[in-house]
Amino acid sequence: MAKVTYDKEITALLVIDPYNDFIAEGGKLWDRVKGVAEANECVPHMVQVLHAARQAELRVFYALHHRYRPGDYETWKYIAPVQKAAWLHKSFEYGTWGGEIRREFEPQPGDIVAQEHWCSSGFANTDLDLQLKKHGIHKLIVIGLIAHTCVEATVRYAAELGYEVTLVKDATADYSDEEMHAALDVNLPNYASAILITNEVVALLSALSP
Amino acid sequence: MAKVTYDKEITALLVIDPYNDFIAEGGKLWDRVKGVAEANECVPHMVQVLHAARQAELRVFYALHHRYRPGDYETWKYIAPVQKAAWLHKSFEYGTWGGEIRREFEPQPGDIVAQEHWCSSGFANTDLDLQLKKHGIHKLIVIGLIAHTCVEATVRYAAELGYEVTLVKDATADYSDEEMHAALDVNLPNYASAILITNEVVALLSALSP
Amino acid sequence: MAKVTYDKEITALLVIDPYNDFIAEGGKLWDRVKGVAEANECVPHMVQVLHAARQAELRVFYALHHRYRPGDYETWKYIAPVQKAAWLHKSFEYGTWGGEIRREFEPQPGDIVAQEHWCSSGFANTDLDLQLKKHGIHKLIVIGLIAHTCVEATVRYAAELGYEVTLVKDATADYSDEEMHAALDVNLPNYASAILITNEVVALLSALSP
Amino acid sequence: MAKVTYDKEITALLVIDPYNDFIAEGGKLWDRVKGVAEANECVPHMVQVLHAARQAELRVFYALHHRYRPGDYETWKYIAPVQKAAWLHKSFEYGTWGGEIRREFEPQPGDIVAQEHWCSSGFANTDLDLQLKKHGIHKLIVIGLIAHTCVEATVRYAAELGYEVTLVKDATADYSDEEMHAALDVNLPNYASAILITNEVVALLSALSP
Tell me the C-alpha distance between A195 and A168, whole Å: 6
Q: CB under 8 Å to C95, separation ≥6 — which residues?
A: none
Compute the distance between CA of residue C162 and CA of residue C165 in angstroms, rounded to an integer. Answer: 9
DSSP state of B41: T
Ranges of H-type helices in A7-74: 20-23, 30-39, 42-55
Rounded Cα–Cα distance for residues C153 and B131 (Å): 21
Do residues C1 and D84 lie in contact, with contact meaning Cβ atoms separated by under 8 Å? no
Residues in C lying within 8 Å of A, measured between beta carbons: 59, 71, 75-79, 109-110, 112, 115-116, 118, 124-127, 129-130, 133-136
At B64-96, the pLDDT tens digits run: 999 999 999 999 999 999 999 999 999 999 999
Secondary structure string (H, E, C) spanning C99-123: HCECHHHCCCCCCEECCCECCCCCC
Distance, in Å, from the CA atom of C153 to the CA atom of A8, rounded to the nearest integer, reads 34
Indicate yes or no: CB of D78 within 8 angstroms of CB of B110.
Answer: no
Regarding an ipTM greater than 0.85, the answer is yes
Predicted confidence at residue C1, as pLDDT, reads 45
C60 residue type, one letter: V
D74/B68 Cα distance (integer angstroms): 31
Looking at the DSSP bridge assignments, the partners of residue B102 are none
Q: Reduced to 3 states, what is the DSSP secondary structure of residue B55?
A: helix
Is the pLDDT confidence value at C2 over 70? Answer: no
| Res. D1: pLDDT tops 70 | no
Q: C162–B134: do the CB atoms touch at under 8 Å?
A: yes
Note the pLDDT of residue A209: 78
CA-CA-CA-CA torsion for B35, B41, B47, B53, nearest 10 degrees?
-120
- Given this model, what pLDDT does residue B1 score? 45
Partners of D134 on chain A (C-beta within 8 Å) are 162
Which residue ranges of chain B lie beneath pLDDT 70? 1-2
Q: Which of C77, C110, C133 sits opposite A75 (nearest CB)?
A: C110
Alpha-carbon span B167 to B193, nearest angstrom: 8
Q: How far apart are CA A63 and CA A52, in angstroms?
A: 19
Residue range C1-15: mean pLDDT, rounded? 88
Pick among B123, B128, B133, B165 to test the C interface (most C CBs inside 10 A)? B133
Residue A158 pLDDT exceeds 50:
yes
Q: CA–CA separation, D38 vs D45, rounded Å?
A: 11
Which chains does chain B touch, 3 or more C-beta pairs < 8 A? A, C, D
Q: Work out the minimum CA distance from A135 to partner chain D, whole angstroms.
A: 9
- 3-state DSSP helix/strand/coil % of chain C, to nearest 5: 40, 15, 40
Cβ-based neighbours of A35, under 8 Å, separated by 6 or more: A176
Tens of pLDDT, residues C89-133: 999 999 999 999 999 999 999 999 999 999 999 999 999 999 999
Q: Kindly report, residue by residue over D21-60, the tens digit of the pLDDT.
A: 999 999 999 999 999 999 999 999 999 999 999 999 999 9
Q: Which residues of A touch B79 (CB under 8 A)?
A: 164, 193
Q: Which residue of D has its CA nearest to C76?
A: D162
- Nearest Cα to B155, choosing from A153, A134, D133? A153
H/E element holding A26? none
Chain A and chain D share a number of CB contacts under 8 A equal to 24
Count of beta carbons in the 10 Å neighbourhood of residue A85: 12
One-character DSSP codes across chain D: -PPP---TTTEEEEEE--BHHHHSTT-TTHHHHHHHHHHTTHHHHHHHHHHHHHHTT-EEEEE-BPPP-TTSSTT-S---HHHHHHHHHTTT-TTSGGGSBPGGG---TT-EEPPPBSSS-SSTTSSHHHHHHHTT--EEEEEES-IIIIIHHHHHHHHHTT-EEEEEEEEE--SSHHHHHIIIIIIGGGT-SEEE-HHHHHHHHHTT--
| Residues A83-125: tens digit of each pLDDT | 999 999 999 999 999 999 999 999 999 999 999 999 999 999 9
The mean pLDDT of A205-210, rounded to a whole number, is 88
pLDDT tens-digit map of C28-62: 999 999 999 999 999 999 999 999 999 999 999 99
- Measured at the alpha carbon of residue C126, what is the angle toward residues C123 and C127, in degrees to the nearest 5? 95
Q: Which residues of B touch D134 (CB under 8 A)?
A: 76-79
**Quick check: B133 and B82 in contact, CB under 8 A?**
no
In chain A, the residue whose alpha carbon lies closest to the alpha carbon of B81 is A190
Name the band, by pLDDT with cuts 50, 70 and 90, for residue D135. very high
Task: Quote the pLDDT of residue B3.
Answer: 77
Interface of A with B (CB under 8 A): 77-82, 85, 118-121, 124-125, 138-139, 148-149, 152-153, 156-157, 159-165, 178-179, 181-183, 186-187, 189-193
Residue D184 Cα, gap to closest chain A Cα (Å):
25
**Cis peptide leading into B146, omega within 30 of 0?**
yes
